[in-house]
Amino acid sequence: MLTMKDINKVFRTNEVQTHALRDFHLQVNEGDFISVTGPSGSGKTTFLNIAGMLEQFSSGQYSLDDIDIGSLNDNQRSRIRNEKIGFIFQSFNLIPDLNLFDNVDVPLRYQSLSSKERKQRIEHYLEMVGLSNRMKHLPSQLSGGQQQRVAIARALATHPRFLLADEPTGNLDTQMAQGVMELLEDINAQGTTIIMVTHDNELANRAKRKIQIKDGRVSELDVVVNQSAASA
């Protein structure tokens, strides 16, 4: 599904040059649930942003469903992103002056869906994350855990084949983190391919595959294959 070969990413700001990814390689298969761990500043977010086409890479090859991503222009990249990819960010990235219903609707507006279909999806996914009674609330009226659940509903409502999550439980307490993890496991069991960055080793071990990034490189590939998850 996804193949990265020799991906390099260099950030240049004034005097400073940061080599965030170095000869990064990875192959992701349909149905995978991959956890990504590694020290702060090692390139985890950069990798996810490149995988999700939010960021361009400096050199190397990236193909997604046999499409050569490096050869696409901005419009083509956005179209493929909207079609295939869902994002969950650590900081939720909800729009403060839109209620929950409208927040979940934002990415759906880029898909060719009727307003009836959009409404059904919004209600279905807000119910799935336990927030159906709060659809008219603003994000500021919710706890962090609830806001993250809205962000998850927003990502899932687009029916992405590929879900990218950057420390989705980073701002949550243990119990809420468990709930979010269970939600991701369910979605994966239903066929969505997931890559999740986390600093929580316990959660990382529940993935089917586990990779570690250090200094912009994959330092350990598939250290753990979670048999129970892989056969579930």
Footprint of ligand ADP (CB under 6 A): 11, 13, 18, 20, 38, 40-46
Token pair belonging to 195:
């890559």
Record the tokens describing residue 40, joined without a space: 């702060």
* Smallest distance, ligand ADP to C-beta of residue 141, A: 30
Least CB distance to ligand ADP at residue 166 (A): 7
- Indicate which of Mg ion, ligand ADP, none lies near residue 227 (CB less than 5 to 8 Å, by partner kind): none
In this structure, the number of other CB atoms found within 10 A of the CB of residue 94 comes to 20
Which distant-in-sequence residues (6+ apart) come within 8 Å of 160 by Cβ? 84, 85, 86, 192
What angle (nearest 5°) sits at the alpha carbon of residue 154, between those of residues 193 and 140? 135
> Could you say which of ligand ADP, Mg ion, none residue 129 binds, taking C-beta under 5 to 8 angstroms by partner kind?
none
Q: Which is nearer to ligand ADP, 51 or 129 (CB)?
A: 51
Q: How far is the CB of 18 from ligand ADP (least distance, A)?
A: 4
Residue with tokens 């609330």, as numbered in its chain: 137
CB 48, min distance to Mg ion, A = 8
CA atoms within a 13 Å half-sphere pointing along the CA-CB vector of 151:
27
> Which residue's entry shows tokens 């009226």?
141
Interacting residues toward Mg ion by CB under 5 A: 44-45
In the complex, least distance from residue 171 CB atom to ligand ADP, rounded to whole angstroms = 15
Q: Which residue's CB is nearer to ligand ADP, number 50 or number 126?
A: 50
Question: Which of Mg ion, ligand ADP, none has residue 17 at its interface (CB below 5 to 8 Å by kind)?
Answer: none
207 contact partners, CB below 8 Å, separation of at least 6 = 33, 34, 35, 194, 196, 224, 226, 229
Nearer to Mg ion, 38 or 107 (CB): 38
